[in-house]
Amino acid sequence: MANYLITVIGATAIGKTALSIKLAKHFKTEIISCDSRQFYKEMTIGTAVPSSDELAAAKHHFIQNRSIFEDYSVGQFEKDALQKLTKLFAKNAIVVMVGGSGLYTNAVINGLDYFPEVSPEIRIKLNKQIENGEISLLQNKLKELDPESYYNIEIENPHRLIRALEICIGTGKTYSEFKNKPKEIRNFIPIKIGISAPRDIMYKRINQRVDIMIQEGLLEEAKLLYKHKNLNALQTVGYRELFNYFDGNCTLDFAIEEIKKNTRRFAKRQVTWNKKDENINWFDFQEDSEKIINKIEALINIE
* Exposed / middle / buried, residue 142 (Cβ in 10 Å: 0-12, 13-18, 19+): buried
Alpha carbon separation from 55 to 17, 65, 194 (Å, rounded): 10, 13, 21
Q: Could you give the CA distance from residue 292 to residue 42 in angstroms, rounded to a whole number?
A: 34
Parallel, antiparallel or unpaired: strands 94-98 and 31-33: parallel
**Residue 40 pLDDT:** 96
* Strands of 4-10's sheet in order across: 60-61, 31-33, 94-98, 4-10, 189-196, 280-284
> Does 160 share its domain with 298?
no
> Does 95 share its domain with 237?
yes
Domain C-terminal end among 160, 178, 196:
178
- Find the domain containing 144 and state its range: 120-178
> Does 105 share its domain with 16?
yes
The pLDDT tens digits of the residues spanning 173-214 come to: 999 988 877 777 899 999 999 999 999 999 999 999 999 999
> Does 61 share its domain with 198?
yes
> Does 13 share its domain with 97?
yes
11 annotated binding-site participant:
yes
Q: Could you give the CA distance from residue 229 to residue 67 in angstroms, rounded to a whole number?
A: 14
> Does 202 share its domain with 286?
yes
133 annotated binding-site participant:
no
> Does 166 share its domain with 148?
yes
Q: Which 8-state DSSP code applies to residue 50?
A: P
> Does 78 share its domain with 170?
no
> Does 164 share its domain with 41?
no
The pLDDT tens digits of the residues spanning 90-100 come to: 999 999 999 87
| Amino acid (1-letter code) at residue 301 | N
Q: Which 8-state DSSP code applies to residue 195?
A: E
CB 9 within 8 A of CB 191: no
Domain C-terminal end among 131, 151, 178:
178
13 annotated binding-site participant:
yes
> Does 200 share its domain with 289?
yes
* Exposed / middle / buried, residue 134 (Cβ in 10 Å: 0-12, 13-18, 19+): middle
| Amino acid (1-letter code) at residue 79 | K
- Single pTM value for the model: 0.84
Specify the DSSP element, H or E, that contains 253. Answer: helix 252-275
Q: What is the CATH number of the domain that holds 43?
A: 3.40.50.300
44 annotated binding-site participant:
no
In the structure, what pLDDT confidence band is assigned to residue 303 with cuts at 50, 70 and 90?
low
The pLDDT tens digits of the residues spanning 216-256 come to: 999 999 999 999 998 989 989 999 999 999 999 999 999 99
Contacts of 123 (CB under 8 A, 6+ apart): 162, 166
Q: What is the CATH number of the domain that holds 134?
A: 1.10.20.140
- The number of domains in the chain is 2
The pLDDT tens digits of the residues spanning 70-113 come to: 988 888 999 999 999 999 999 999 999 998 788 899 999 999 88
> Does 91 share its domain with 239?
yes
DSSP 200-212: HHHHHHHHHHHHH
**Residue 181 pLDDT:** 74
**Residue 1 pLDDT:** 77
The pLDDT tens digits of the residues spanning 137-179 come to: 999 999 999 999 999 887 887 888 999 999 999 999 999 988 8
Three-state SS at 220: helix
> Does 23 share its domain with 166?
no
Domain C-terminal end among 178, 196, 224:
178
